[in-house]
Structure 1
Amino acid sequence: MTKKMEAFWEEKLEIMQKKFMHLQNQFDQTVKENQALKARIRQLEDNDRGKEQESIKQSQNTKKLEENIKYLTDKVIDLENRGRRDNLRIIGLPEKPEINTKLDMVIQDIIKENCPEILEQGGNTATDRAHRTPSTLNPQKTTPRNVIAKFQSYQTKEKILQEARKRQFRYKGMPIRVTQDLASSTLNDRKAWNMIFRKARELGLQPRISYPAKLTIYFQGKVWAFNKIEDFQLLQRKDQSSVESLIPKIKEQGIPEKVNIKERGKCYLLLLLKLSSIRTTFISTYVY
Protein backbone atom coordinates (compact mmCIF):
# COMPACT_ATOMS: atom_id res chain seq x y z
CA MET A 1 0.00 0.00 0.00
CA THR A 2 2.83 2.40 0.87
CA LYS A 3 4.67 1.68 -2.35
CA LYS A 4 1.54 2.41 -4.33
CA MET A 5 1.13 5.74 -2.54
CA GLU A 6 4.79 6.64 -3.14
CA ALA A 7 4.45 5.75 -6.82
CA PHE A 8 1.26 7.87 -7.05
CA TRP A 9 2.86 10.94 -5.50
CA GLU A 10 6.02 10.55 -7.53
CA GLU A 11 3.90 10.49 -10.67
CA LYS A 12 1.98 13.58 -9.52
CA LEU A 13 5.26 15.34 -8.65
CA GLU A 14 6.68 14.55 -12.07
CA ILE A 15 3.57 15.91 -13.75
CA MET A 16 3.73 19.09 -11.68
CA GLN A 17 7.43 19.52 -12.46
CA LYS A 18 6.69 19.18 -16.17
CA LYS A 19 3.91 21.76 -15.88
CA PHE A 20 6.19 24.06 -13.89
CA MET A 21 8.93 23.76 -16.49
CA HIS A 22 6.39 24.52 -19.20
CA LEU A 23 5.19 27.58 -17.28
CA GLN A 24 8.80 28.62 -16.64
CA ASN A 25 9.54 28.40 -20.35
CA GLN A 26 6.43 30.45 -21.13
CA PHE A 27 7.44 33.05 -18.55
CA ASP A 28 10.98 33.28 -19.93
CA GLN A 29 9.54 33.66 -23.42
CA THR A 30 7.19 36.40 -22.20
CA VAL A 31 10.08 38.23 -20.52
CA LYS A 32 12.08 38.10 -23.74
CA GLU A 33 9.14 39.35 -25.77
CA ASN A 34 8.53 42.09 -23.20
CA GLN A 35 12.15 43.19 -23.41
CA ALA A 36 11.97 43.16 -27.21
CA LEU A 37 8.80 45.30 -27.05
CA LYS A 38 10.46 47.76 -24.65
CA ALA A 39 13.44 48.03 -26.97
CA ARG A 40 11.09 48.60 -29.90
CA ILE A 41 9.16 51.24 -27.95
CA ARG A 42 12.41 53.05 -27.05
CA GLN A 43 13.41 52.92 -30.70
CA LEU A 44 10.05 54.34 -31.78
CA GLU A 45 10.28 57.06 -29.13
CA ASP A 46 13.76 57.98 -30.34
CA ASN A 47 12.47 58.05 -33.90
CA ASP A 48 9.55 60.27 -32.85
CA ARG A 49 11.88 62.67 -31.05
CA GLY A 50 14.09 62.75 -34.11
CA LYS A 51 11.11 63.41 -36.34
CA GLU A 52 9.84 66.09 -33.97
CA GLN A 53 13.21 67.82 -33.99
CA GLU A 54 13.32 67.52 -37.76
CA SER A 55 9.81 68.94 -37.96
CA ILE A 56 10.86 71.89 -35.79
CA LYS A 57 13.85 72.52 -38.03
CA GLN A 58 11.64 72.32 -41.12
CA SER A 59 9.16 74.74 -39.53
CA GLN A 60 11.98 77.16 -38.76
CA ASN A 61 13.32 76.83 -42.30
CA THR A 62 9.83 77.32 -43.71
CA LYS A 63 9.36 80.44 -41.58
CA LYS A 64 12.69 81.83 -42.79
CA LEU A 65 11.73 81.08 -46.39
CA GLU A 66 8.36 82.80 -45.91
CA GLU A 67 10.09 85.83 -44.40
CA ASN A 68 12.56 85.92 -47.30
CA ILE A 69 9.73 85.57 -49.83
CA LYS A 70 7.79 88.37 -48.16
CA TYR A 71 10.88 90.58 -48.10
CA LEU A 72 11.63 89.90 -51.76
CA THR A 73 7.97 90.39 -52.72
CA ASP A 74 7.82 93.71 -50.88
CA LYS A 75 11.11 94.70 -52.49
CA VAL A 76 9.80 93.88 -55.98
CA ILE A 77 6.58 95.81 -55.31
CA ASP A 78 8.57 98.77 -54.01
CA LEU A 79 10.78 98.71 -57.09
CA GLU A 80 7.71 98.56 -59.32
CA ASN A 81 6.20 101.52 -57.49
CA ARG A 82 9.43 103.46 -57.87
CA GLY A 83 9.47 102.58 -61.54
CA ARG A 84 6.07 104.30 -61.81
CA ARG A 85 7.18 107.46 -60.00
CA ASP A 86 6.78 109.56 -63.15
CA ASN A 87 3.27 108.22 -63.85
CA LEU A 88 -0.17 109.57 -63.08
CA ARG A 89 -3.37 107.53 -63.13
CA ILE A 90 -6.44 109.32 -64.49
CA ILE A 91 -9.76 107.79 -63.42
CA GLY A 92 -13.13 108.54 -64.96
CA LEU A 93 -11.97 109.81 -68.34
CA PRO A 94 -14.72 108.83 -70.81
CA GLU A 95 -14.09 105.83 -73.05
CA LYS A 96 -14.47 107.42 -76.49
CA PRO A 97 -12.51 106.87 -79.72
CA GLU A 98 -11.76 110.57 -80.14
CA ILE A 99 -10.22 110.56 -76.65
CA ASN A 100 -8.39 107.24 -76.87
CA THR A 101 -6.60 108.25 -80.07
CA LYS A 102 -5.43 111.59 -78.65
CA LEU A 103 -4.64 110.85 -75.02
CA ASP A 104 -1.51 113.03 -75.01
CA MET A 105 -3.52 116.04 -76.14
CA VAL A 106 -6.33 115.25 -73.71
CA ILE A 107 -3.85 115.25 -70.82
CA GLN A 108 -2.58 118.67 -71.89
CA ASP A 109 -6.20 119.89 -71.96
CA ILE A 110 -6.72 118.55 -68.43
CA ILE A 111 -3.65 120.42 -67.19
CA LYS A 112 -4.77 123.61 -68.96
CA GLU A 113 -8.28 123.35 -67.50
CA ASN A 114 -7.34 122.50 -63.90
CA CYS A 115 -3.85 123.87 -63.20
CA PRO A 116 -2.93 126.41 -65.89
CA GLU A 117 -0.37 127.98 -63.55
CA ILE A 118 1.94 125.06 -64.32
CA LEU A 119 1.84 126.04 -67.99
CA GLU A 120 2.32 129.69 -67.10
CA GLN A 121 5.41 128.82 -65.08
CA GLY A 122 6.87 127.08 -68.11
CA GLY A 123 6.79 123.60 -66.63
CA ASN A 124 7.55 120.61 -68.85
CA THR A 125 4.15 118.96 -69.16
CA ALA A 126 5.11 116.67 -72.04
CA THR A 127 4.42 112.96 -71.68
CA ASP A 128 6.49 110.05 -72.93
CA ARG A 129 3.40 107.92 -73.38
CA ALA A 130 -0.22 107.57 -72.33
CA HIS A 131 -2.42 104.48 -72.55
CA ARG A 132 -5.53 102.86 -71.21
CA THR A 133 -5.30 100.01 -68.73
CA PRO A 134 -6.01 97.15 -68.94
CA SER A 135 -5.00 96.75 -72.55
CA THR A 136 -8.26 95.01 -73.53
CA LEU A 137 -11.72 96.44 -73.08
CA ASN A 138 -14.04 94.40 -70.87
CA PRO A 139 -17.57 94.65 -72.35
CA GLN A 140 -19.11 93.78 -68.96
CA LYS A 141 -17.44 96.73 -67.27
CA THR A 142 -19.50 99.92 -67.44
CA THR A 143 -16.88 102.28 -66.04
CA PRO A 144 -14.12 103.59 -68.34
CA ARG A 145 -10.66 102.15 -68.13
CA ASN A 146 -8.03 104.16 -66.31
CA VAL A 147 -5.45 106.15 -68.21
CA ILE A 148 -1.77 105.88 -67.31
CA ALA A 149 0.38 108.86 -68.32
CA LYS A 150 4.18 108.89 -67.99
CA PHE A 151 5.54 112.44 -67.70
CA GLN A 152 9.01 113.50 -68.79
CA SER A 153 9.38 115.68 -65.68
CA TYR A 154 8.92 114.21 -62.21
CA GLN A 155 8.57 117.69 -60.71
CA THR A 156 5.70 118.55 -63.06
CA LYS A 157 3.96 115.29 -62.23
CA GLU A 158 4.25 116.08 -58.50
CA LYS A 159 2.82 119.58 -59.00
CA ILE A 160 -0.19 118.17 -60.86
CA LEU A 161 -0.69 115.52 -58.17
CA GLN A 162 -0.56 118.13 -55.40
CA GLU A 163 -3.20 120.21 -57.17
CA ALA A 164 -5.36 117.13 -57.67
CA ARG A 165 -5.26 116.47 -53.92
CA LYS A 166 -6.54 119.97 -53.20
CA ARG A 167 -9.61 119.97 -55.44
CA GLN A 168 -11.76 118.00 -57.86
CA PHE A 169 -10.26 117.83 -61.36
CA ARG A 170 -12.50 118.04 -64.43
CA TYR A 171 -12.29 117.38 -68.12
CA LYS A 172 -14.65 119.59 -70.12
CA GLY A 173 -16.82 119.91 -67.02
CA MET A 174 -16.89 116.16 -66.25
CA PRO A 175 -15.36 115.14 -62.88
CA ILE A 176 -12.26 112.97 -63.04
CA ARG A 177 -9.71 111.75 -60.50
CA VAL A 178 -5.95 112.09 -60.81
CA THR A 179 -3.84 109.89 -58.53
CA GLN A 180 -0.37 108.42 -58.26
CA ASP A 181 0.12 105.32 -60.40
CA LEU A 182 1.14 102.35 -58.24
CA ALA A 183 1.50 98.58 -58.51
CA SER A 184 -1.77 96.65 -58.53
CA SER A 185 -1.01 94.98 -55.18
CA THR A 186 -0.40 98.37 -53.57
CA LEU A 187 -3.63 99.72 -55.06
CA ASN A 188 -5.53 96.73 -53.65
CA ASP A 189 -4.00 97.33 -50.21
CA ARG A 190 -5.14 100.95 -50.40
CA LYS A 191 -8.64 99.97 -51.48
CA ALA A 192 -8.94 97.86 -48.33
CA TRP A 193 -8.97 101.11 -46.32
CA ASN A 194 -11.87 102.63 -48.29
CA MET A 195 -14.61 102.05 -45.71
CA ILE A 196 -12.46 103.11 -42.79
CA PHE A 197 -11.24 106.13 -44.73
CA ARG A 198 -14.82 107.30 -45.43
CA LYS A 199 -15.92 106.86 -41.82
CA ALA A 200 -12.82 108.60 -40.49
CA ARG A 201 -13.47 111.51 -42.86
CA GLU A 202 -17.07 111.73 -41.61
CA LEU A 203 -15.67 112.14 -38.10
CA GLY A 204 -13.43 114.95 -39.32
CA LEU A 205 -10.18 113.08 -38.68
CA GLN A 206 -8.47 114.30 -41.87
CA PRO A 207 -7.49 110.79 -43.04
CA ARG A 208 -4.69 110.28 -45.54
CA ILE A 209 -3.29 107.22 -47.27
CA SER A 210 0.50 107.50 -47.34
CA TYR A 211 3.01 105.31 -49.14
CA PRO A 212 2.70 102.45 -49.64
CA ALA A 213 -0.71 101.77 -48.04
CA LYS A 214 -0.63 103.29 -44.57
CA LEU A 215 -3.62 105.10 -43.08
CA THR A 216 -2.82 108.26 -41.14
CA ILE A 217 -5.25 110.57 -39.33
CA TYR A 218 -4.75 113.93 -37.65
CA PHE A 219 -6.42 114.39 -34.28
CA GLN A 220 -5.74 116.57 -31.25
CA GLY A 221 -2.51 117.82 -32.79
CA LYS A 222 -1.13 114.32 -33.33
CA VAL A 223 -0.72 112.12 -36.37
CA TRP A 224 -1.83 108.50 -35.87
CA ALA A 225 -0.57 105.88 -38.32
CA PHE A 226 -1.88 102.36 -39.03
CA ASN A 227 0.03 100.00 -41.27
CA LYS A 228 -2.30 97.01 -41.62
CA ILE A 229 -6.02 96.48 -42.14
CA GLU A 230 -5.73 93.30 -40.06
CA ASP A 231 -5.45 95.40 -36.89
CA PHE A 232 -8.93 96.75 -37.48
CA GLN A 233 -10.38 93.41 -38.56
CA LEU A 234 -9.08 91.75 -35.38
CA LEU A 235 -10.53 94.41 -33.12
CA GLN A 236 -13.78 94.37 -35.09
CA ARG A 237 -14.50 90.89 -33.73
CA LYS A 238 -14.16 92.02 -30.14
CA ASP A 239 -17.25 92.53 -28.02
CA GLN A 240 -18.93 95.92 -28.10
CA SER A 241 -18.87 95.83 -24.30
CA SER A 242 -15.28 97.09 -24.44
CA VAL A 243 -16.70 100.49 -25.30
CA GLU A 244 -19.83 100.22 -23.17
CA SER A 245 -17.61 99.64 -20.15
CA LEU A 246 -16.14 103.09 -20.73
CA ILE A 247 -19.47 104.87 -20.19
CA PRO A 248 -18.79 105.58 -16.48
CA LYS A 249 -15.41 107.07 -17.41
CA ILE A 250 -17.10 109.08 -20.15
CA LYS A 251 -19.41 110.58 -17.52
CA GLU A 252 -16.38 111.36 -15.36
CA GLN A 253 -14.82 113.17 -18.31
CA GLY A 254 -17.95 115.28 -18.59
CA ILE A 255 -18.86 114.07 -22.08
CA PRO A 256 -22.64 114.42 -22.61
CA GLU A 257 -24.50 111.26 -23.61
CA LYS A 258 -27.20 113.05 -25.61
CA VAL A 259 -25.27 114.46 -28.56
CA ASN A 260 -25.44 113.71 -32.27
CA ILE A 261 -23.68 110.62 -33.59
CA LYS A 262 -20.78 112.51 -35.14
CA GLU A 263 -19.99 114.50 -32.00
CA ARG A 264 -20.48 111.48 -29.77
CA GLY A 265 -18.10 109.52 -31.99
CA LYS A 266 -15.49 112.24 -31.52
CA CYS A 267 -16.01 112.16 -27.78
CA TYR A 268 -15.55 108.41 -27.61
CA LEU A 269 -12.57 108.73 -29.88
CA LEU A 270 -10.92 111.31 -27.66
CA LEU A 271 -11.45 109.20 -24.57
CA LEU A 272 -10.13 106.06 -26.19
CA LEU A 273 -7.05 107.90 -27.40
CA LYS A 274 -6.39 108.92 -23.82
CA LEU A 275 -7.13 105.58 -22.18
CA SER A 276 -6.15 102.88 -24.66
CA SER A 277 -2.63 101.54 -24.90
CA ILE A 278 -3.48 100.06 -28.31
CA ARG A 279 -3.76 102.92 -30.77
CA THR A 280 -6.03 100.99 -33.14
CA THR A 281 -8.79 100.32 -30.59
CA PHE A 282 -10.65 103.56 -31.13
CA ILE A 283 -11.15 103.30 -34.85
CA SER A 284 -12.52 99.72 -34.97
CA THR A 285 -15.56 100.60 -32.89
CA TYR A 286 -16.77 103.51 -34.97
CA VAL A 287 -15.67 102.62 -38.44
CA TYR A 288 -17.39 99.27 -38.87
Structure 2
Amino acid sequence: MANYTEAQKPQNSKRNKKGATLDTFYGAKSQNTEEIEEETQANAPIPSKENGNPPQTHEEFESEMSKKMEAFWEEKWEIMQKKFTHLQNEFDQIVKENQALKQELIKQSQKNKKLEENIKYLPHKVTDLENRGRRANLRIIGLPEKPEISTKLDNVIQEIIKENCPEILEQGGNTATDRAHRTPSILNPQKTTPRNVIAKFQNSQTKEKILQEARKRQFRYKGMPIRVTQDLASSTLNDHKAWNMIFRKARELGLQPIISYPAKLTIYFQEKV
Protein backbone atom coordinates (compact mmCIF):
# COMPACT_ATOMS: atom_id res chain seq x y z
CA MET A 1 0.00 0.00 0.00
CA ALA A 2 2.81 2.24 0.81
CA ASN A 3 4.42 1.54 -2.53
CA TYR A 4 1.21 2.44 -4.36
CA THR A 5 0.91 5.71 -2.55
CA GLU A 6 4.37 6.68 -3.60
CA ALA A 7 3.59 5.72 -7.19
CA GLN A 8 0.36 7.71 -7.23
CA LYS A 9 2.13 11.02 -6.40
CA PRO A 10 1.91 13.65 -9.15
CA GLN A 11 4.75 13.65 -11.61
CA ASN A 12 5.42 17.35 -11.07
CA SER A 13 6.27 16.64 -7.47
CA LYS A 14 9.19 14.45 -8.53
CA ARG A 15 12.67 15.90 -8.11
CA ASN A 16 15.03 16.40 -11.03
CA LYS A 17 18.58 15.17 -11.12
CA LYS A 18 19.78 18.25 -9.23
CA GLY A 19 17.31 17.69 -6.45
CA ALA A 20 14.79 20.47 -7.41
CA THR A 21 11.10 19.78 -8.11
CA LEU A 22 9.40 20.87 -11.34
CA ASP A 23 7.32 23.35 -9.41
CA THR A 24 10.44 24.94 -8.09
CA PHE A 25 11.95 25.04 -11.60
CA TYR A 26 8.94 26.71 -13.20
CA GLY A 27 8.63 29.11 -10.28
CA ALA A 28 12.29 30.22 -10.66
CA LYS A 29 11.87 30.71 -14.41
CA SER A 30 8.89 32.91 -13.89
CA GLN A 31 10.73 34.94 -11.27
CA ASN A 32 13.73 35.55 -13.59
CA THR A 33 11.42 36.72 -16.36
CA GLU A 34 9.79 39.21 -14.04
CA GLU A 35 13.17 40.58 -12.93
CA ILE A 36 14.28 41.11 -16.54
CA GLU A 37 11.06 42.93 -17.35
CA GLU A 38 11.44 45.14 -14.29
CA GLU A 39 15.03 46.00 -15.23
CA THR A 40 14.00 46.81 -18.79
CA GLN A 41 11.23 49.06 -17.57
CA ALA A 42 13.64 50.79 -15.17
CA ASN A 43 16.15 51.52 -17.96
CA ALA A 44 13.56 52.49 -20.52
CA PRO A 45 12.77 56.21 -20.99
CA ILE A 46 10.15 57.40 -18.52
CA PRO A 47 7.35 59.60 -19.81
CA SER A 48 7.26 63.12 -18.50
CA LYS A 49 4.88 63.52 -15.60
CA GLU A 50 4.53 67.25 -16.14
CA ASN A 51 3.32 67.35 -19.72
CA GLY A 52 2.22 63.77 -20.04
CA ASN A 53 4.33 63.10 -23.16
CA PRO A 54 4.51 59.50 -24.29
CA PRO A 55 7.71 57.59 -23.52
CA GLN A 56 10.69 58.13 -25.87
CA THR A 57 11.51 55.58 -28.44
CA HIS A 58 14.97 54.04 -28.60
CA GLU A 59 15.88 56.16 -31.64
CA GLU A 60 14.78 59.35 -29.90
CA PHE A 61 16.78 58.42 -26.84
CA GLU A 62 19.91 57.80 -28.94
CA SER A 63 19.39 61.08 -30.79
CA GLU A 64 19.06 63.02 -27.54
CA MET A 65 22.15 61.39 -26.07
CA SER A 66 24.09 62.07 -29.28
CA LYS A 67 23.16 65.76 -29.12
CA LYS A 68 24.21 65.97 -25.50
CA MET A 69 27.53 64.31 -26.29
CA GLU A 70 28.11 66.68 -29.20
CA ALA A 71 27.35 69.68 -27.00
CA PHE A 72 29.68 68.32 -24.32
CA TRP A 73 32.57 67.77 -26.71
CA GLU A 74 32.00 71.11 -28.43
CA GLU A 75 32.29 72.83 -25.07
CA LYS A 76 35.46 70.88 -24.27
CA TRP A 77 36.87 71.67 -27.73
CA GLU A 78 36.25 75.40 -27.26
CA ILE A 79 38.03 75.28 -23.90
CA MET A 80 40.97 73.44 -25.44
CA GLN A 81 41.11 75.90 -28.34
CA LYS A 82 41.18 78.84 -25.91
CA LYS A 83 43.97 77.22 -23.91
CA PHE A 84 45.90 76.43 -27.09
CA THR A 85 45.48 80.01 -28.34
CA HIS A 86 46.69 81.33 -24.98
CA LEU A 87 49.73 79.04 -25.06
CA GLN A 88 50.44 79.98 -28.67
CA ASN A 89 50.35 83.68 -27.77
CA GLU A 90 52.70 83.08 -24.85
CA PHE A 91 55.05 81.13 -27.11
CA ASP A 92 55.04 83.90 -29.73
CA GLN A 93 55.78 86.45 -27.00
CA ILE A 94 58.69 84.35 -25.73
CA VAL A 95 60.06 84.05 -29.28
CA LYS A 96 59.88 87.83 -29.73
CA GLU A 97 61.60 88.44 -26.40
CA ASN A 98 64.26 85.89 -27.30
CA GLN A 99 64.91 87.63 -30.62
CA ALA A 100 65.13 90.98 -28.84
CA LEU A 101 67.62 89.50 -26.37
CA LYS A 102 69.69 88.12 -29.23
CA GLN A 103 69.80 91.54 -30.89
CA GLU A 104 70.75 93.15 -27.58
CA LEU A 105 73.45 90.52 -27.09
CA ILE A 106 74.86 91.26 -30.55
CA LYS A 107 74.92 94.99 -29.79
CA GLN A 108 76.58 94.37 -26.43
CA SER A 109 79.14 92.11 -28.08
CA GLN A 110 79.96 94.85 -30.59
CA LYS A 111 80.32 97.37 -27.76
CA ASN A 112 82.62 95.00 -25.88
CA LYS A 113 84.72 94.55 -29.01
CA LYS A 114 85.08 98.31 -29.38
CA LEU A 115 86.00 98.60 -25.71
CA GLU A 116 88.67 95.93 -26.13
CA GLU A 117 90.08 97.79 -29.13
CA ASN A 118 90.09 101.04 -27.14
CA ILE A 119 91.79 99.31 -24.21
CA LYS A 120 94.49 98.02 -26.55
CA TYR A 121 94.85 101.48 -28.06
CA LEU A 122 94.97 103.38 -24.75
CA PRO A 123 98.46 102.22 -23.63
CA HIS A 124 99.91 103.35 -26.97
CA LYS A 125 98.07 106.65 -26.67
CA VAL A 126 99.30 107.21 -23.12
CA THR A 127 102.86 106.34 -24.17
CA ASP A 128 102.67 108.73 -27.11
CA LEU A 129 101.40 111.54 -24.87
CA GLU A 130 104.18 110.86 -22.38
CA ASN A 131 106.78 110.94 -25.14
CA ARG A 132 105.37 114.20 -26.46
CA GLY A 133 105.61 115.68 -22.98
CA ARG A 134 109.30 114.70 -22.94
CA ARG A 135 110.17 116.04 -26.41
CA ALA A 136 112.08 119.02 -24.95
CA ASN A 137 114.20 116.66 -22.82
CA LEU A 138 117.54 114.99 -23.39
CA ARG A 139 118.75 111.88 -21.57
CA ILE A 140 122.46 111.75 -20.73
CA ILE A 141 123.76 108.25 -20.03
CA GLY A 142 127.08 107.40 -18.37
CA LEU A 143 127.70 110.62 -16.44
CA PRO A 144 129.64 109.61 -13.28
CA GLU A 145 127.90 109.61 -9.89
CA LYS A 146 130.03 112.27 -8.20
CA PRO A 147 128.83 114.95 -5.80
CA GLU A 148 130.52 117.74 -7.76
CA ILE A 149 128.63 116.61 -10.84
CA SER A 150 125.24 115.77 -9.32
CA THR A 151 125.00 119.08 -7.46
CA LYS A 152 125.83 121.17 -10.52
CA LEU A 153 124.09 119.38 -13.37
CA ASP A 154 123.12 122.58 -15.20
CA ASN A 155 126.77 123.66 -15.36
CA VAL A 156 127.87 120.15 -16.39
CA ILE A 157 125.42 120.19 -19.32
CA GLN A 158 126.83 123.51 -20.53
CA GLU A 159 130.32 122.01 -20.36
CA ILE A 160 129.16 119.00 -22.41
CA ILE A 161 127.72 121.31 -25.08
CA LYS A 162 130.90 123.38 -25.17
CA GLU A 163 133.09 120.27 -25.48
CA ASN A 164 131.06 118.39 -28.12
CA CYS A 165 129.15 120.97 -30.18
CA PRO A 166 130.65 124.44 -29.67
CA GLU A 167 129.13 125.67 -32.94
CA ILE A 168 125.77 125.92 -31.19
CA LEU A 169 127.27 128.39 -28.74
CA GLU A 170 129.01 130.24 -31.55
CA GLN A 171 125.69 130.66 -33.35
CA GLY A 172 124.24 132.22 -30.21
CA GLY A 173 121.83 129.41 -29.53
CA ASN A 174 119.90 129.34 -26.28
CA THR A 175 121.35 126.39 -24.38
CA ALA A 176 119.72 127.20 -21.04
CA THR A 177 117.85 124.42 -19.25
CA ASP A 178 114.71 124.64 -17.15
CA ARG A 179 115.79 121.75 -14.95
CA ALA A 180 118.15 118.80 -14.77
CA HIS A 181 117.93 115.82 -12.43
CA ARG A 182 118.96 112.22 -11.94
CA THR A 183 116.52 109.39 -12.58
CA PRO A 184 115.49 107.46 -10.61
CA SER A 185 115.60 109.90 -7.75
CA ILE A 186 116.89 107.30 -5.25
CA LEU A 187 120.28 105.70 -5.81
CA ASN A 188 120.31 101.90 -5.81
CA PRO A 189 123.57 100.79 -4.11
CA GLN A 190 123.36 97.39 -5.83
CA LYS A 191 123.78 98.97 -9.27
CA THR A 192 127.25 99.86 -10.47
CA THR A 193 126.16 101.99 -13.43
CA PRO A 194 125.43 105.68 -12.82
CA ARG A 195 121.88 106.96 -13.00
CA ASN A 196 120.74 108.79 -16.11
CA VAL A 197 120.43 112.56 -16.21
CA ILE A 198 117.30 114.20 -17.64
CA ALA A 199 117.70 117.76 -18.88
CA LYS A 200 114.82 119.90 -20.13
CA PHE A 201 115.90 122.68 -22.48
CA GLN A 202 114.10 125.98 -22.82
CA ASN A 203 114.53 125.89 -26.58
CA SER A 204 113.44 122.68 -28.33
CA GLN A 205 115.46 123.60 -31.45
CA THR A 206 118.66 123.66 -29.40
CA LYS A 207 117.78 120.24 -28.03
CA GLU A 208 117.29 118.90 -31.58
CA LYS A 209 120.65 120.29 -32.73
CA ILE A 210 122.44 118.63 -29.81
CA LEU A 211 120.62 115.36 -30.54
CA GLN A 212 121.62 115.48 -34.23
CA GLU A 213 125.28 115.99 -33.29
CA ALA A 214 125.07 113.12 -30.78
CA ARG A 215 123.85 110.81 -33.55
CA LYS A 216 126.86 111.68 -35.70
CA ARG A 217 129.64 111.03 -33.17
CA GLN A 218 130.47 109.84 -29.69
CA PHE A 219 129.96 112.53 -27.02
CA ARG A 220 132.41 112.89 -24.14
CA TYR A 221 132.62 114.65 -20.82
CA LYS A 222 136.18 115.53 -19.87
CA GLY A 223 137.37 112.67 -22.03
CA MET A 224 134.89 110.10 -20.61
CA PRO A 225 132.46 108.63 -23.18
CA ILE A 226 128.80 109.40 -22.61
CA ARG A 227 125.61 108.92 -24.60
CA VAL A 228 123.03 111.61 -25.34
CA THR A 229 119.62 110.43 -26.52
CA GLN A 230 116.04 111.58 -26.69
CA ASP A 231 114.21 111.24 -23.37
CA LEU A 232 111.37 108.78 -23.87
CA ALA A 233 108.85 106.80 -21.84
CA SER A 234 110.13 103.62 -20.20
CA SER A 235 108.13 101.37 -22.55
CA THR A 236 109.60 103.12 -25.60
CA LEU A 237 113.09 102.87 -24.11
CA ASN A 238 112.60 99.13 -23.70
CA ASP A 239 111.68 98.94 -27.38
CA HIS A 240 114.88 100.83 -28.18
CA LYS A 241 116.94 98.42 -26.07
CA ALA A 242 115.66 95.54 -28.18
CA TRP A 243 117.67 97.03 -31.09
CA ASN A 244 120.92 97.49 -29.12
CA MET A 245 122.73 94.39 -30.38
CA ILE A 246 121.83 95.03 -34.03
CA PHE A 247 122.68 98.70 -33.57
CA ARG A 248 126.20 97.88 -32.29
CA LYS A 249 126.84 95.28 -34.99
CA ALA A 250 125.80 97.76 -37.68
CA ARG A 251 128.26 100.32 -36.36
CA GLU A 252 131.04 97.74 -36.23
CA LEU A 253 130.41 97.04 -39.91
CA GLY A 254 130.77 100.71 -40.76
CA LEU A 255 127.05 101.27 -41.28
CA GLN A 256 125.00 104.17 -39.98
CA PRO A 257 122.13 102.85 -37.84
CA ILE A 258 119.49 105.26 -36.57
CA ILE A 259 116.61 104.54 -34.22
CA SER A 260 113.79 106.92 -35.08
CA TYR A 261 110.63 107.64 -33.13
CA PRO A 262 109.06 105.73 -31.59
CA ALA A 263 111.33 102.68 -31.97
CA LYS A 264 112.10 102.20 -35.63
CA LEU A 265 115.59 101.08 -36.67
CA THR A 266 116.94 102.50 -39.93
CA ILE A 267 120.38 101.53 -41.30
CA TYR A 268 122.20 103.68 -43.87
CA PHE A 269 124.96 102.36 -46.12
CA GLN A 270 126.77 104.84 -48.34
CA GLU A 271 124.01 107.35 -47.66
CA LYS A 272 121.37 104.86 -48.79
CA VAL A 273 118.79 103.12 -46.65
- Residue 217 of structure 1 is matched in structure 2 by 267
Paired position in structure 1 for 2:242: 192
Aligned counterparts, 1:22-41, within 5 A: none
- Which of structures 1 and 2 has the bigger CA Rg? 2
Helix, strand or coil at the partner of 1:149: strand
Alignment of 1:144-155 (within 5 A): 144-155=194-205
Amino acid of the residue matched to residue 101 of structure 1?
Answer: T
Query: Residue in 2 aligned with 1:77?
Result: 127
* One-letter amino acid matched to 1:73: P
| Residue identity opposite 1:124 in structure 2 | N
The equivalent residue for 1:181 is 231
Paired letter, 2:156: V
* Amino acid aligned to 1:95: E
Question: How far apart, in 2, do the equivalents of 1:157 and 1:124 lie?
Answer: 10
Q: Partner of 1:136 in structure 2?
A: 186
Q: What is the aligned counterpart of 1:157 among 207, 212, 232?
A: 207
Cα separation, partners in 2 of 1:222 and 1:61, compared to 1, 3 Å: farther
Q: Distance in 2 between matches of 1:80 and 1:213?
A: 14
After TM superposition, give the deviation of residue 192 of structure 1 in Å: 1.3
**C-alpha RMSD of the superposition:** 3.0
Q: Does structure 1 residue 88 correspond to structure 2 residue 150?
A: no
CA deviation after TM superposition for structure 1 residue 58, in Å: 7.2
Aligned to 2:161: 111
Residue 256 (structure 2) aligned to one of 186, 202, 206? 206
Under a length normalisation based on structure 2, what TM-score does the superposition of the two structures give? 0.57
Structure 2 unaligned residues grouped into runs of 5+: 1-101
Residue in structure 1 matched with residue 222 of structure 2 by the alignment: 172
Pick closer, same or farther for the CA change 1:206–1:58 going to 2, 3 Å: farther
Residues 155/221 of structure 1: CA separation in 2 closer, same or farther (3 Å cut): closer
Q: Deviations over 1:75-123 (max 9, x none)?
A: 1111111111110000000001111110000001111111111111111
SS at match of 1:117: helix
Of the candidates 167, 177, 197, which is equivalent to residue 127 of structure 1?
177
Describe how 1:1-80 pairs up with structure 2 within 5 A.
Answer: 61-80=111-130
* Percent of aligned pairs with the same amino acid: 90
Residue 207 of structure 1 aligns to a residue whose secondary structure is: strand
Partner residue in 2 for 1:261: none
Separation in structure 1 between the aligned mates of residue 186 and residue 126 of structure 2, nearest angstrom: 25
Pick closer, same or farther for the CA change 1:222–1:175 going to 2, 3 Å: closer
Distance 1:219 1:53, change over 3 A: farther
Show CA shifts across 1:11-63 (max 9, x none). Answer: xxxxxxxxxxxxxxxxxxxxxxxxxxxxxxxxxxxxxxxxx999988776554
Distance 2:158 2:251 in 1: 32
In the TM superposition, residue 222 of structure 1 has moved relative to its aligned partner by 6.0
Amino acid at match of 2:235: S
CA distance in 1, matches of 2:105, 2:243: 38
Matched residues, number: 178
Call closer, same or farther: CA 1:93–1:158 in 2, change over 3 Å: same
